[in-house]
Amino acid sequence: MTPLPYGSWPTPITSERVVTAAVRLEDVRPDGSGGVVWGEGRAAEGGRTQLVRRDAEGTVTDLLPEGANARTAVHEYGGGAWWLHGGAVFFVDWADQRLRRLDGDTITVLTPEPATPRGDRYADGDVAPDGTWLVCVRERHPREGAPATEVVNEIVRLDAREPSEPQVLVTGPDFVAAPRLSPDAGRLAWVSWDHPSMPWDDTVLTVRDLATGADTVVAGGPGESVAEPAWQADGSLHFLSDRTGWWNLYRWDGSTVSGVVVVDAEIGLPAWQLAGSRSATVGDSVVFARSSQGFDALCVREKGEHADRGAVSELDTPFSAIRSVRADGTDAVVCIAGSPTSEAGVHRVGLDGTVTTLRAPRDLGLDSATISVPEPMTFASVDGAGRPRDAHALYYPPAGDGPRDQLPPLLVVIHGGPTGQAAPVLALGLQYWTSRGFGVVDVNHGGSTGYGRAYREQLKGAWGVVDVADCLAAARALADAGRVDPDRLAIRGGSAGGFTTLAALARDDTPFSAGADHFGVADLEALAADTHKFESRYLDGLVGPYPEAREVYVERSPITHVERFATPLIVLQGDEDAIVPPNQSEMIVDALRRRGVPVAYLLFEGEQHGFRKAENIRRALDAELAFYAEMFGFALPADEDITPVPIER
């Protein structure tokens, strides 16, 4: 039987399968009574986050009433929208951003009604051991549409049982995170940072004696990113620091800092969202996730004679992408983890490596031959000055064979951030392409996480240069190796990856013949002038201070180089996106229309930064496939009902 052309293969991985029963597992926490609670972002329910409990007997129950959505808008990216204590669930509801307490079926609203809609936002809390009060982050927007300069981030104290007026404990820094109470509730630890730093640049860890008000700076400052403080039973404090060039684990005993796990691998992740956790103390051991060459592993550091000693061993688990690591008793952790052949699930992992699955991934019913497994890839590229350097990626070959006289089309995928990381975990949204005959290269360009601080800082002052160079180099390396068709190279990215996509196309030497921009940045000046507080100075480090470096902003902006655009493009955008507003996408679409370049534009109602509704995720995937079919000249699978996308020519 003659193989079908690449791109047109029939596949069980349709857009419907991608979203059917699909969930985003957002966090997991033991409830202290043998049960576990996790958050599920459900595409079929409009993308809302439901909290789910599995009790000690294995009974699974949805906790939130219909319509409730445990999601915070702090930093716009959220995280830390819920936490547990003594059988109660504390959660922030997306609709009004007020903090609530859930006891059984009873919900108590703990925070006052804000002066403006969603004007006060809460996140990342911790409850005192006696359960009477709590601390959390509050982000205050004093008036509707307040500019970033007026938004105030603070740590506040609240009554944990009934409504109260928040008491401000920490104010002054531009940002605060991770307020954590000591076991006796006598001390408060927190992380802070100021513009123009981001939390992966320079942060400070401070501890306050709540009786005296005396503050002690434990770690951090220029050139050091500190994160994830966690008090220990003996009153010491664990935290992550990249002082050696890698996010490793340290201990503060009240006077000195010593290493707990110091390895040439990354334990931490960039804090785009609050309340991350990549390590936990379990009995006398420390369990931690570490990333090396793009792949995670779960490791144990046994107790040694000294805090900075003890054997480190890797647990024998199938996982390659791990997050939300939290202690569960004295012999195990719970975590969210997946592998190249399995979506993320909720698992309990013992100190001996025994894995018990608490929330299984979807039963996809797929033949293993349908799944493409990533190959780590290191390739030659250049830095911002044109000097040789290595870059990294994961390459997913087509899941099958096409005609002998053809090579597969290539899809270059760019993660967001741009400090994100291509994760080697089964993602049906990616297998959607490989199962149809596309090769996919998921690029960890300079600036990505997982390869140490020096690699992360390769993007400083070079956004739109180093990332673009790495994407071009990855595509050319695969084409030169004869693995993909050099005449059918496409590039796609969302958010920061959308900017890289546009920048890679706005070049006379672009190797790409099609592109897909998902809510990407087209005009750096517009982004600097119209974005939220968390990222309002981010471009200082990636591009340069504005307006002093205005010429660089203009030169790097794809909208400035529309005369170079000759590559067909599909643009997908949410109409409620506060991070990359729709006007960014519309500027580039209008420019391509004027140029006569084939362009398709889809604006999705009710979507923010990233699509959450099942019907919109499906439409975006199928529209992009239809666009490539038109541009690359292959037929859409006959057994799928895919609506063609309108293309303006």
Query: What is the CA 403 to chain-centroid distance, rounded?
Result: 38
Contact (CB, 8 A) for 190 and 179? yes
Q: What is the CA radius of gyration of the chain?
A: 24
Give the per-residue pLDDT at 398.
98
Q: How far apart are CA 207 and CA 217, in angstroms?
A: 6
Query: What is the CA 227 to chain-centroid distance, rounded?
Result: 16
- Residue 624 in tokens: 């992009």
How large is the angle between the packed helices 496-505 and 466-480, nearest 10 degrees? 70
Q: Residue length, the chain?
A: 649
Alpha carbon of 222 to those of 71, 205, 237, 449, 556: distances in Å? 32, 12, 21, 19, 27
Q: What is the 3-state secondary structure (H, E, C) of 263-280?
A: CCCECCCCCCCECCCCEE
Tens-place pLDDT, residues 205-255: 999 999 999 999 999 999 999 999 999 999 999 999 999 999 999 999 999
**Of 599, 646, 598, 645, nearest to 622 (Cα)?**
645
Q: Where are the alpha helices (DSSP H) in 482-568?
A: 496-505, 524-529, 538-542, 550-556
Q: How far apart are CA 51 and CA 338, in angstroms?
A: 20
Q: Which residue has the tokens 């920490």?
A: 170
Contact (CB, 8 A) for 505 and 565? yes
Q: Return the bridge partners of 520, or none.
A: none
Residue type, 67: G
Give the per-residue pLDDT at 610.
85
Q: Which residue has the tokens 């001996």?
A: 352
Q: How far apart are CA 185 and CA 179, in angstroms?
A: 12
Q: How far apart are CA 350 and CA 356, in angstroms?
A: 8
Contact (CB, 8 A) for 334 and 326? yes
Contact (CB, 8 A) for 229 and 250? no
Please count the other Cβ atoms lying within 10 Å of the Cβ belonging to residue 223: 11
Q: How far apart are CA 52 and CA 367, in angstroms?
A: 30
Query: What is the CA 480 to chain-centroid distance, rounded?
Result: 32
Mean pLDDT per block of 10 residues along the chain (649 residues) reads: 89 93 93 96 90 97 97 96 97 97 97 89 98 98 86 98 98 98 98 97 98 98 98 97 97 96 95 97 96 94 63 94 97 97 97 97 90 96 93 97 95 93 95 98 97 96 97 98 98 94 95 96 87 93 96 95 92 89 90 94 92 91 97 92 91
Phi-psi region of 15 (alpha: psi -120 to 50; beta: other; left: phi over 0): alpha
Give the per-residue pLDDT at 302.
86
Contact (CB, 8 A) for 621 and 590? no
Q: Which long-range contacts link 381-388 to residues 24+ away (Cβ below 8 Å)?
A: 381/446, 381/466, 381/469, 381/470, 381/473, 381/474, 382/469, 382/473, 383/446, 383/458, 383/462, 383/466, 383/469, 384/458, 384/461, 384/462, 384/465, 384/466
Alpha carbon of 596 to those of 318, 518, 521, 592: distances in Å? 50, 21, 21, 6
Residue type, 463: W
DSSP state of 526: H
DSSP state of 13: -
The DSSP-derived string for 205-264 is EEEEETTT--EEEEEEBTTB-EEEEEE-TTS-EEEEE-TTSS-EEEEE-SS-EEEEE--S
Count the helices and strands in the chain (H runs, E runs): 10, 36
Q: Return the bridge partners of 335, or none.
A: 347
Q: Which residue has the tokens 């180093």?
A: 466
Give the per-residue pLDDT at 305.
47
3-state DSSP call for residue 607?
Answer: coil
Phi-psi region of 110 (alpha: psi -120 to 50; beta: other; left: phi over 0): alpha
Give the per-residue pLDDT at 562.
86
Cα dihedral 429→430→431→437 (10° resolution):
120
DSSP state of 629: H
Residue type, 600: A
Residues 6 or more apart whose CB falls under 8 angstroms from that of 385 comprise none
Give the per-residue pLDDT at 336.
98
Please count the other Cβ atoms lying within 10 Å of the Cβ belonging to residue 118: 14
DSSP state of 340: T
Q: Return the bridge partners of 42, or none.
A: 23, 48
Backbone angles phi, psi at 582, to 5 degrees: -55, -30
Burial class (CB in 10 A: 0-12, 13-18, 19+), 163: middle
Query: What is the CA 169 to chain-centroid distance, rounded?
Result: 29
DSSP state of 399: S
